[in-house]
Amino acid sequence: MIEPGNRPSSSAVLVWIAFALTAGALDGYAGGAAAVLVAAVGLARLPAEWLGRVGVACLALAPVSVLVDGLPSDATVSPGFVTRSLTPHHLVFGGFSLLAAWIVIDVRRHLRTTGHLADATVRPDPPDHPRVQAPAPLARLSRAGQLALTGAVAVSGAVIAIAVVLR
Amino acid sequence: MTSTEVDDLEAVTDVAVPPATGRPRSRTPGPPPVGRSERIGLLAGVVALAAVVIGTRFGVFTPDTRPDLYQQPGRFLASSLDAWVGGANGLGQANFNAGAAPIAAVVWVIRGLGASPWLAVRIWRLLLLVVGAWGIRRYLAALLGSRLTVAGRVVATVFWVVNPYAVVSASTTPILLPYALLPWTLLAFVQATRQPRSWRWPAAFALGFFAQSGLNAGVVPFFQLLAVPAHLVHARWIERHRWRDLVRVLVRCGLLAVVVSLYWLLPSFLASSTGAGIAGSTEDPRDIARTSSYGETGRLLGNWPLYGRGGARLFLGDYAIYLTNPLVVAASFAVPLAVGISLWRSRARERLLTVALLAVGLPVMVGLFPPDHPYAAGRLLGAVFDRVPVALAFRTTNKVGAIVVLAYVIALAVGVGAWRHSGVARSRRVRVGATAVAAALLLAASAPLWDGGLYPLGFRFPRTWQDATADLDRTGPDGRVLVVPGGAGGNYRWGMRSPDDVFPSLLERPAAVRTTVVGRGDPAGNFMSGFDTALAEGALPARGLSVVAHYLGATDVLVRNDLLTEEINGPSPAAVTGLARDDPGLVLRRSYGKPGTDTVPDTAGPVTERSRQTDRSDSAVAPLLTLAVTDADRAVHIAPASQQILVDGDGGSVIPLARDAITDGRRPIRLLGSLDQRSFATSVRDGGRLVLTDTNRRRAWDVNRVANATSATLAANGDVDSGNGATTTLWPDDPTKQTVTEVTGVASVTADKPGFGLHPFGRASNAFDGDPTTAWITGGFSTATGNRIGIALNRTRTVRSVSVQALPSEPSRITSVAVQVGASQVVQALPPDGTEVKIPIRPTPAERVVVTILGQTPGLNPVGISSVTVDDVAVREVTRLPETLSRLTSHADATTRRRLASMPLDVVLTRAEGIRSDQSDDEEAQLDRRFRLPDDRTMVFTAELTSQGADPVAVAAARRGDRSCRRVALLDGRPLRARVVSTPGQVAEGRLLLQGCGDQKMASGGHELLTIFGWRLDQVRFSSGGAEGASGRSSGASGPSLRLGARTPTRIEASVAASGPGARLFRLGEAFDERWALSIDGRDAGPPILVDGYATGWRIDEHAHRLVATFTAQRAVKATFLLSLAGVVGVVAVVVLPAPSAEDRRRWRHRARHTSLTDGVDQR
């Protein structure tokens, strides 16, 4: 993604083009407008966090738009509630797409700053805490319990299998 | 990165930057322990949830999927193992729901512990919600480790259970079950990526996928797999696992998941045509997408039934609060807002996972929206739905919503964590305030949980149904029950509303019932639709019901008068009851319930005085009646082939055959369209009777009605799939086997499809037929504007005169039209009195004349155009019969032709009248027909019409007993003369029976019958005699000469005694499916044939035999079930049993080497 303060790299331009195409395919001109906004923020060297702010603002405006249009009564509920105005549709799409753009820019920046994003964001193990493997499922069961559970499943399976075969 | 941003990041994630080592550094310390206050809170939450889930509508049965899952879980479980099940119409279909077996097993255990059906529903749902809440806690603990805060965990737990998606979309088990198990499945996947060399977590993933079950062909679990790519992104770029390891994990998870799911994957594949047919007949993808905007899906709604209604009734009335209450609307929109703020303020690394989940989940959930003008992605999806029938199973894209909820939960958890680390949250007052606000928003966003509206659809089975079904089970446990009238599912005035009917829940015996949702061109659906449409339209003859019962092998008939027929244009209860009671082939067993209870349309409950006055006839009938079929046959049946009726038409021909006493319900019927040249020759050799009919009309179908539920009969190139349901027309892609329309006088007549549902009456040609009493009708519910009607002339000609006459309908009528003649267009206002208006055009060369409706007055009624006159152009629409017999004969050998010529042949014609009691809905104003005879015949002409359709002078003469010959029609352009032969009583009833004055010599080849003014014939029959072999009642049997042996849903054993010379037709009684096989004394009898219009059958010889019919797909289904079972046992063992330690492995290797050496010594 285009990063404010820097000359856009070719990879950033490619990512932006992919973003613009996807947004346009998903929400037409509104999606395209979101992509233009992302480019504008980048080219104007504004903080990318602005994208997050605008995204949140879009999400906040969506219910306002719905309420301003008015709510139906039980007697008038119909799909028209959704189709009468596309404004909430575009606002929510725009909100989430701008937030997504902001997050991707932010993550890429960390990645480029540290070289290894995961290392930059993973909490290290405490010195006195040995590195743990992902625990085994049902590791808390005793050996006998494990055997009993497996045996029970196997026996149940056998019973069902016999029933199926005899059927 | 600025220093402030770095500070923010470290504040949230407690980051220190260790040197890169190249090894994955993904293992995280555990989450905070569950403290006392959290434990108490969770316990209180579970209690509150239990109170809501069980206490709401206490004691009311609120099934969240097929009712019989809870009513008869044992039987449901058993049927899950069968590749062939009764299906919606009871005649049988391939089973695409084998995946329900694990659910049925659990519900069976719940019922076994003593829970009644209604309580079992609640316990099951509570169980799933608790399991889901537990799962999301485990998942977040694994994902976030020590960075998961207690507050974030609590918010996530609560939100997973109480959010709009969990309340509305997950109100059904097919969605709730996968929703509850998604976190567990993904927990296993996350851990698998962290231990890429282990089989344990892939095995756990497979178990999670298995537990999601393959209910409804596993659509939702498949949707939820879309969460996997997002987790791969997270694993690769955040946790830094290698692609090679991730691919290994993916392969292992996929492999094991497939193994444990084979038991439903294969049946779903085998039944894909059934499923695709049903999918094609139910919701249209564009209708589903009409409400799934980003706005609605963003607040976790958008599921179309929430916004739908049938008349005044909302489909999900109790959930409408999400649309009508401003507080609830605002609270539900606060959910995506809170998610957005979380994503904006947090710096947690899981934001990328959230974005990836949303990037997949939200667009899929939105699907085709806006359906009328979709964007590029929507157009692509629409093209997939249009071109890949199986893809229609995934048309309800809202079902992917669990992924979006998961993304929200992760965002909220990290957002709460970020907030807790911020300075704002240090104040206790702020924390309490924020907690109160969050709780209020969650309560409002899940309002139906707390306001008693959690279960919009619930009911109790009436005593009448329980008594009637119990009696039916007692009286004839083996025979079928024919249920009338048909419908669009289980929708009753006493409260049940379900796409699944009541019979599998209450009745042990198989029940046959017409349902409007059928597979495209499915013979069983065609047969049931044919007779039930006649019933709904009042066209069933006196013995019609018992004749149909014989063909279906029904020993009893159940009349249900409590069906919501008013919503489906169904017959009145009194009419159906009268028909059943008057049928001489039926004997009343018993009526159930007080007359008038739930039998009066548009009312419910006991009959009121007002109903008695306004609807006396329906108030007087009982809710349920059972009738016995006299001399009933079983579904499995055998009859001499010499008595067969070879019909050019479809299953609906049973009605005219019964009306004209050609069959009593026992003569086997074979449809000529199902025969190839060889089997045709064999059939002709067997003997029987030939009947040409005007059935199997090419029509598009509407699934929402039972009467007048089709388009008008289409031309050979008409779109048979333009309805909202699959067509029941047999061989839908071969118009030569269908009855179609042909126009004379112009090249074609076209009209836009009505905007509000199909109807057969008011066809386009009516506007051009020169008859002002008929009209093109369109535009109900104010949808006429823009609709066009037009003719294409045979050649370009100069049009000098056009006049238009509007139908004088009320309150809505057409006010103006645009008339396009060649390059000229004239806009013309039409007068309110319906007089004809001459359009001021100059002579214009034109190939087409098109009239477009520009305006209509207010009103919901349909409007129309009675007449469009273009110069001297005369248009007539004639109905052409199927040409199968003619085609088969033209390719037959001389012997077959000779035999054919000696067989009796009838041409049976019926005017399409729509509902008999409604004179305004006739599809055909006249009975005009074209048909082809296979050879020269001498025919006897008979006909019937009503006195309203006859010349009053002729009616008066008939009353006087005048039997003189009159010209009643034109046959091949020559007058067809007949006399009225009705008795005085028949004339008084308004029935005129005609008998031809002398025989009609008709040559082989094409013929045209045109009716004339004053003789609107309703039924016509041309009969020629011949050597039929046997006639009258069939000597077919399912009794002494056919003995049934062991029977399962997929295997039927029988033995037949020897009979007289000649082949026999063996009817299995199950819907036609080519995968049925028959062994005769151990030898394969070859592929099955279509018998009696709907059933699987075989032609067998006259000797005694032992017959075994099997549904061949069952073997594969059974094998995959066993494979899956072994797979489940295997993956459980892998998950549970401890992995061998390094020491164990070293010891085993040592032992193996030692044994090998020892073996070597021994060998020496």
Residue-level pLDDT at A6: 56
Q: What distance in Å separates the CA atoms of residue B737 and residue B1086, rounded to the nearest whole number?
A: 25
What pTM, to 2 d.p., does this model score? 0.87
Let me know if B1148 is exposed, middle or buried by CB neighbors in 10 A (0-12, 13-18, 19+).
exposed
Angle at the Cα of B615 from the Cα atoms of B610 and B617, rounded to 5 degrees: 130
Give chain A's largest Cα–Cα span: 75
Task: Select the more confidently predicted residue: B830 or B14.
Answer: B830
**Residue B1138 pLDDT level (bands cut at 50, 70, 90):** confident
Task: Note whether B1122 contacts A96, CB cutoff 8 Å.
Answer: no
Lowest mean pLDDT among B142-151, B198-207, B265-274, B323-332: B265-274
* CB pairs < 8 Å spanning A and B: 262
Report the distance separating Cα B1090 and Cα B1095, nearest Å: 6
pLDDT band at B337 (very low <50, low <70, confident <90, very high): very high
| Model pLDDT for residues B347-375, shown as the tens digit of each residue | 898 999 999 999 999 999 999 999 889 99
- Using an 8 Å CB-CB cutoff, list chain A residues near B1048: 167
Q: DSSP state, A37?
A: H
Q: Is A135 helix (H, G, I), strand (E, B) or coil?
A: coil
Q: Are the beta carbons of B877 and B743 closer than 8 angstroms?
A: yes
Taking each helix axis from N to C end, the angle separating B215-224 and B200-212, rounded to the nearest 10 degrees, works out to 130
Question: How many angstroms separate the CA atoms of B527 and B688, rounded?
Answer: 21
pLDDT (0 to 100) of residue B276? 63
Residue B217, pLDDT > 90, answer no
Q: How buried is A67 (Cβ within 10 angstroms: 0-12 exposed, 13-18 middle, 19+ buried)? A: middle
Is pLDDT at B16 greater than 50 in this prediction?
no
Quick: pLDDT tens for B588-625: 999 999 999 999 999 999 999 999 999 999 999 999 99
pLDDT bracket for residue B273 (50, 70, 90): low
Which among B307, B308, B1136 has the least Cβ separation from residue A149? Answer: B1136
Q: What percent of chain B has pLDDT over 70?
A: 94
Distance (Å) from the alpha carbon of A87 to chain B's nearest alpha carbon: 8
pLDDT at A4 over 60: no
Of the candidates B1042, B1027, B1040, which has an alpha carbon nearest to the alpha carbon of residue B1100? B1042
The shortest C-alpha distance from A14 to chain B (Å) reads 18
- Residue numbers in A near B349 (CB within 8 A): 107, 117-118, 121-122
CA distance A2 to chain B (A): 14
Q: What is the structure's pLDDT at B782?
A: 82
| pLDDT value at B1100 more than 80 | yes
Q: Mean of the pLDDT values across residues B803-827?
A: 92
- Closest residue in chain A to residue B241, using alpha carbons only: A118
Task: Give me the pLDDT at residue A139, please.
Answer: 63
pLDDT of residue A128: 37
Contacts of A51 in chain B (CB under 8 A): none
Query: Measured between alpha carbons, how far is B479 from B628 in angstroms, rounded to an integer?
Result: 11
Q: How confident is the model over B1030-1055, as a mean pLDDT? A: 73
Bond into B267 cis (ω within 30):
no
The more confidently predicted of residues B95 and B1052 is B1052
H runs (alpha helix) in A44-142? 49-69, 80-83, 87-114, 117-121
* Min Cα separation A7/chain B (Å): 15
Which tens digit of pLDDT belongs to each residue from B669-703?
999 999 999 999 999 999 999 999 999 999 999 88
Nearest to B330 among A52, A63, A146 (CB): A63
Which pLDDT score, from 0 to 100, does residue B375 have?
A: 93
Contact B293 A25 (CB under 8 A): no
**Residue with the larger pLDDT of the pair B141 and B834:** B141
Radius of gyration (C-alpha) of chain B in whole angstroms? 34
**Confidence band, pLDDT 50/70/90 cuts, at residue B1164:** very low
pLDDT tops 50 at residue B6: no
Residue B445 to chain A, least CA–CA distance (Å): 13
| CB contacts, 8 Å: B317 with chain A | 74
How confident is the model at residue B12, as a pLDDT?
A: 35
A125 contacts B307? CB cut-off 8 A: no
- Kindly indicate the confidence band of residue A138, based on its pLDDT and cuts at 50, 70 and 90: low
Would you state the pLDDT for residue B1030? 42
Helix or strand or coil: residue B427? coil
Question: Residues B746-774: what's their mean pLDDT?
Answer: 87
Does B200 sit within 8 Å of A164, measured CB to CB?
A: no
Q: What is the pLDDT of residue B441?
A: 94
> Does the distance separating the beta carbons of A49 and B290 come in below 8 Å?
no
Percentage helix, strand, coil, to 5, in chain A?
A: 70, 0, 30
Contact B1138 A63 (CB under 8 A): no
Asked if residue B793 has pLDDT above 60, the reply is yes
Identify the weakest region by mean pLDDT among A128-137, B312-321, B608-617: A128-137
The 10 Å Cβ neighbour count of residue B595 is 17
CA distance B8 to B767: 76
Q: Assign B758 a pLDDT band (cuts: 50, 70, 90).
A: confident
Identify from B84, B327, B412, B1136 which residue to disrupt to test chain A contact, counting A C-beta atoms within 10 A and taking the largest count.
Answer: B1136
Count of C-beta atoms within a 10 Å radius of residue B380: 13
**B47-52: which pairs have CB atoms within 8 A and are 24 or more residues apart?**
B49/B126, B49/B129, B49/B130, B49/B161, B50/B126, B52/B449, B52/B450, B52/B454
Smallest Cβ distance to A119: which of B17, B370, B1121?
B17
What are the residues whose beta carbons fall under 8 Å from the beta carbon of B931, sequence distance 6 or more?
A: B692, B880, B881, B907, B1006, B1007, B1009
Shortest Cα distance, chain A CAs vs residue B453, angstroms: 14
Name residues whose C-beta falls within 8 Å of residue A1's C-beta, 6 or more positions apart in sequence.
Answer: A12, A15, A16, A19, A38, A42, A48, A101, A104, A105, A108
Of residues B1038 and B564, the one with the higher pLDDT is B564
pLDDT in tens, B465-493: 999 999 999 987 678 999 999 999 899 99
Strand residues in B505-616 grouped as ranges (E): 511-515, 554-560, 586-592
Q: Single out the residue of B364, B397, B369 nearest to residue B286, CA to CA.
A: B369
Residues A86-124 have pLDDT tens digits of 999 999 999 999 999 999 999 888 877 765 444 333 343
Q: Given a cut of 60, is residue B2 above it in pLDDT?
A: no
Mutate to test the interface with A, among B108, B245, B1129, B1134 (most CBs of A within 10 A): B1129
Which of B1, B27, B363 comes nearest A134 by C-beta? Answer: B27
- The pLDDT tens digits of the residues spanning A43-77 come to 888 898 999 999 999 999 999 999 999 999 999 99
CA distance B1097 to B1065: 7
When mean pLDDT is compared across A48-52, B66-70, B276-280, B912-916, the lowest value belongs to: B276-280
Q: Do A56 and B340 touch (CB under 8 A)?
A: yes
SS (H, E, C) B805-845: EECCCCCCCEEEEEEEECCEEEEEECCCCCCCEEECCCCEE
ipTM value > 0.95: no
**pLDDT tens-digit map of A10-23:** 888 898 999 999 99
Contacts of A48 in chain B (CB under 8 A): none
Helix (H) or strand (E) holding B32, with range, is none
pLDDT classification of B1061: cutoffs 50, 70, 90: confident
User: Which pLDDT score, from 0 to 100, does residue B29 have?
Assistant: 65
CA distance B194 to chain A (A): 7
pLDDT score for B275: 61
Q: Regarding predicted confidence, which is higher, B1035 or B326?
A: B326
pLDDT, position B283 = 72
Q: Given this model, what pLDDT does residue A164 score? A: 66
Q: Which residues contact B40 (CB under 8 A, 6 or more apart)?
A: none
CA-based Rg of chain A, rounded to a whole angstrom? 26
Decide if pLDDT at B280 tops 80.
Answer: no
How many angstroms separate the CA atoms of B566 and B564, rounded? 5
* Distance between CA atoms of residues B514 and B1113, nearest Å: 26
B-chain residues within 8 Å CB-CB of A164?
81, 1118, 1121-1122, 1125
- What is the average pLDDT value for chain B, to the nearest integer? 90
CA distance A31 to chain B (A): 10
